[in-house]
A and B are shown apart, each in its own frame.
Chain A
Amino acid sequence: MPSASGYFRTHYGEDTRLLDTRTKRVCYALLVVILVALPFVASAFLLDLANQVYLAIIGAVALMLLTGYAGQISLGHAGLMAAGAFTAGILFKEVNAPFWITLPASGLVGATIGVIFGLPSLRLRGLYLAVSTLALHFIVIYAGGEYETKRGFSTGVIIAPPRIGSWTLEDPIAWYFVLGLFAAAALLFGLNLLRSRTGRAWRAIRGRETVAEALGIPVARYKLAAFVVSSMMTSVAGCLFAYYRGFVSAEAFSLFLTIQYVAMVIIGGIGSMLGAVLGAVFVVLFPYAIEALTQVLPTPAAWANAVFAINYAAFGLVMILFLLFEPQGLVGIWRRIQNYFLLWPFKQAPLSKGR
C-alpha cells in the first residue's frame, strides 16, 4: 500500500506491524469507539443486522484465509457451518451440554472435518477439490437431516440460549458484544497468521504450488493447516449462529449460503482481510437493500411473492459485475479512492505508455 511521502520504514519490524502510522491508530480507535457506542443508540433491527454482520465476518475471514490466501477453492462452507451448528444442537439435546463445551466441541468437529476433506486436497487441485468440498456439503446436510428425522425434530432442533454460570446470553446488546469480540478475535487471528511464516507459505502456495515446494515449503502440511484453520473457524461460526438463532435446521444451510460466502470473498476482494469485512457487510446488507429498493421502485405485481428470486437474480448480477469489472473487489475501489486522496494535487498519468 502506498504511503504519502515523508513516511519511510526504517526496520523490518515495521513492515509487519498492523497499525503502522499514527493516523491509522487514531482511525481504528475511533472505529472501536463508534462500534462500542452503536448498540446503545441503534434500533433492534439495526442491532440484529450488526450481529449478522459479525457472524458473517467470522465465516468470511475463514474462507478468505483458505481461498483468498492459500488459493484453495471450497464449496463446502455451508456444510461446515452446519457441522458446527449441528454439533452444538446435538450435544445440547442429547447430553444437555453447556455453551463452554459445545463451542470448543464444534471447533474440534470442524477441525476434524477439515483434516478429512483437506486430505484429498493433497492430491487434488482446483476443480477436483471444489467438487470434493461440494460433496462434503451434501454429506453433512444429509447427516444433519437424518438426525432431525430420526429423533423426530422434523422442523429443526431448538437450542436454549447459552448460560455461563448464572448469566444467560439473551439480550441482543450482550450478543452484540459477544459476537463483536468473536469477530474481532477472528480478524486478529487471521491477520496474525498472515504475517507469520504460515501466511507467507500460503501465499507462496497460491502463487505456484510447484515453486513453493521447490523453495522448501512443506506444501502438504500448510495446505492441510489452511483447511483445518478455516474449517475450525467456520464451524465455530456455525455454532454461534445456532445459539444466536436458538434453532438448528438443515434447511438453513443451503448451497446458497456457500455462494453467499464465496461472494463475500469475491465482492470484498480476494486476498485481503479488509475485503472479507467489506464483503461480509455488503452481502449481509444486500437483501435488505434490495427489499427496500423493490418497495420504492415500481415492480410487477407478480414479483411481490418472489422477493427471494429478486434477491438471487440481483445477487448473481452483482457478482458477475464484480468479476467482470472489478476483480479486486470493494477493496480495489477503496484503495483507488485512498490513492486518489493520498496523491491528490500531484496526481498525474502514469509515465509508462504500457498502461
Chain B
Amino acid sequence: MADALLVVEQLEVVYQRVITAVQGVSLRVEKGQIVALLGTNGAGKTTTLRAISGFIGMDDARVTEGTVTYKGERIENLPPHGVTSLGIVLVPERQKVFENLTVAENLDANVARVVKGFDRKRLAASVYEYFPALARLRSREAGYLSGGERQMLGIGAALMCAPEMLLVDELSLGLSPIMVSELMQRLLAIRRELGTTILLVEQNAQVALDIADYGYVIENGRIVLDGTPERLSSHQDIKEFYLGGGSTRRSYRDVKQYRRSRRWYG
C-alpha cells in the first residue's frame, strides 16, 4: 500500500466545463512495475494520461474530482514541466518529436530532473545504445524519420529527462507488429536496467499484456476490470473484444448482441 509510486483515485475530468471524459478512474502503479491501461477509442485512456502528466489545463479541461498522488505528493494541478521535473515523463501519442530539430538536438533539448551525478552525455550514449538506429540518424531532422524511428526518438528523448516513471501513449499505433514487439523488448530492457516504472496505454491488448505486470481495462471513462495479465487474458470478454478470436467464432450479429449485454464482473 505505502510503496505505490503513483496512485490515481476516483479521477474525474471535465472538458470545457461540460463534457465528462473520465469518471471514477482509480489505479495504482507500484515502483518498478509495468502497468497496462487498456481500452478502445474514446474510453478515456489518453485523458487519464493527460491528467497525470499535467497537460489537462491546456485543453480547457480540468480535474474536477479525485486525486493523482505521486510519491505521496498531489500532482493533479501541476503544469507539465512541473510533473516532468518530478520524474514523470509522457511519450505522447502523436507529435512526439520536434520535427525541425535533428535527432541529437531532440535529445539535447530536454530538461532533466535534478539527479545527483547526472551526465547528459552518458545518458545520451545509453539512449543510442537502446536504440542503435538513432545513432546513425543523429544529424537527420526528426521530420524525416519513419514512424518507428520517431517512436524510438520519442522514448529516447523522454529518457533524457531522467524519468522515474514513463507514460507511454499508444506505442503500437501505426507500427508493424515486428517493430512493436521490438520496442516492447526495449521497454523491458529500460525497466530492467534503469529501474524505470512504466505505465503503458494501449489499444493492442495482446502486446501490452505480454510485458505488463498488471493491467487495467477502462471503458466509458471508468475502470471496469483489473488484474494480472494472466487473469485478464483468460477473461472471456477481453478475449472477445481485445485479443480477437475467443473460444468460438460468432457471426457479427451475435457479437453486437453480446456487446450490449456485456458483463464486467468476472
Contact = CB atoms under 8 A, between A and B. Distances in A.
Interface of A: 352-355
A79 B226 CA distance: 68
B17 interface: yes
Contacts of B62: 354
Nearest to A352: B17
Instruction: Determine the main DSSP class of B at the interface with A.
Output: strand
B14 interface: yes
7 contacts: A352-B17, A353-B64, A354-B14, A354-B17, A354-B62, A354-B64, A355-B17
Nearest to A355: B17
Interface residues of B, number: 4
Contacts of A354: 14, 17, 62, 64
Interface string B37-67: 0000000000000000000000000101000
Please report whether the interface of chain A is mostly helix, strand, loop or mixed according to DSSP: loop
A202 B64 CA distance: 35
Contacts of B64: 353-354
A352 B12 CA distance: 14
B14 to A, nearest CB: 6
Interface in B59-78: 62, 64
B62 to A, nearest CB: 6
Interface string B1-20: 00000000000001001000
Nearest to A354: B17
7 pairs of A and B residues whose beta carbons are closest in the complex: A354-B17, A354-B14, A354-B64, A353-B64, A352-B17, A354-B62, A355-B17
Interface string B63-103: 01000000000000000000000000000000000000000
A354 B64 CA distance: 7
B124 to A, nearest CB: 37
B59 to A, nearest CB: 14
B22 to A, nearest CB: 14
Nearest to B16: A354
Contacts of A353: 64
A349 to B, nearest CB: 15
A354 B14 CA distance: 8
A301 to B, nearest CB: 49
A145 B261 CA distance: 80
B47 to A, nearest CB: 15
A353 B66 CA distance: 13
A353 B18 CA distance: 11
A354 B62 CA distance: 8
A352 B64 CA distance: 10
A354 B19 CA distance: 12
**Quick one: which of A352, A354, A355 has the most chain B CB within 10 A?**
A354
A263 B62 CA distance: 33
Contacts of A352: 17
A353 B63 CA distance: 11
